[in-house]
Every structure is written in C-alpha cells, then in structure tokens.
Amino acid sequence: MNIAVLNIKGEDTGKKVKLNKDIFGVEPNDHAIYLDVKSFLAAQRQGTHKAKERAEITGSTRKIKRQKGTGTARAGSIKSPVFVGGGRVFGPKPRDYSFKLNKKVKQLARKSALSYKAKSKDIAVIEDFSFEAPKTKSYLDILKKLNVGDQKSLFVLPENSKNILLSSRNLKNTKVSVVNELNTYEVINSDKVVFLEGSIEKLDSLFK
C-alpha cells in the first residue's frame, strides 16, 4: 500500500512511502486488541487504595455491654464492622493490577490496530520536522493544515523530540509518541494517526 507524503502545510510533496502489508494489512484480531488495551489500562492504575480492617482501627478493646439480658445481639468490640466507625470487612488493599502479556500477542494487537486505521484511511505520513523551541501555536498550525484540529490525533516520531513534546502536551485532543513506544491503546483511541516519514522505516525494523 502506497501513501502520499505531505509537508507540514498539508500539501502533497510528490513523494510516496510504502506501508508494509505485514504491519498495515494483516487480518485484525479483536481479542488481541482487547487483551493489550486491558493490559495497558491495568498498568496505569496506581493500586494505592486502602481501607482499615478491624485490627487496624484505633479504639477501646473493652466489652461494650454485657453478654446477656440486653435483648439485642452480643457485642464484644466497638471496632466491629457493624458499628459506625468500625473496621471494614474485606476492604481494598494496595495491589498491582498489571499482568504479563506475551510479546507476540502485543505485536499482533498493534498490527491489528494499525491495519484497522489503514483500512479506514485514517493514517497520514508527513515529512520529518522539528521545532527550534517549544511553540504550541506552531504545533496547532500543523494540526489545522492537516485537517485534524478537531479530531483526536496521534503523532508518531522516529525519535524523542523534546520541543515537539512540550509544544503538544497542553493540548487536549493530540498525543505525541515515539515509534518504539507505540501502543495499541493510543492507536485505537485516536481518530487519525500521523507518522513522520522517518518513523515508517523504524516501524518496519521494530516488527522484524
């Protein structure tokens, strides 16, 4: 599959790049996408939730009323879960939600996500560019010229660019990622995936 290379003004440069069919033309596997997205979102959870159980509550340990003759149920401790201010039964504890996913499943998920985007023609390729200094206005101008200003966009860079990252991070509907950190969730969650020309070459070597 060949795709035209645009410049940052949204104009056709006359160049074309070939999208590898082994990456952008596979039969999508929805279950692999589900597992990879689930794994990504699970890893984002802090897991720092905590509730005190009865052994951790501060309070008197004396028996609060006599055992018999009250007409009500027995009560041995003010820290019991049945009383206001008592401990919680089986409350949440700090835990790690992340889980391991096989490398081949993750690769299949990313290929499937990219194939969906290629099939719906939601992939664009632009010439490599850089900013001499962080400039959000310049980045916004690129979004408008590429007609993705009102869409969720994902820009995939061949390598880290601090100035491009700083220019985009305050904007709501755009995300910048490096090609070797590309993940399924970001691809699926975007309306348009914009590759810089150099990132296409690195993508081919990444999936070898």
Alpha carbon 190 to its chain centroid, in Å, reads: 11
What domains are there in the chain, each with its CATH number?
A: 2-46+100-206 (3.40.1370.10), 51-91 (no CATH)
Query: 154-205: per-residue pLDDT in tens?
Result: 999 998 889 999 999 989 899 999 999 999 999 999 999 999 988 988 888 8
Distance CA 186, CA 191 (A): 10
Question: What is the per-residue pLDDT for 39?
Answer: 96
The answer to whether the beta carbons of residues 190 and 175 sit under 8 Å apart is yes
| Per-residue pLDDT reduced to its tens digit, 49-66 | 999 999 999 988 889 899
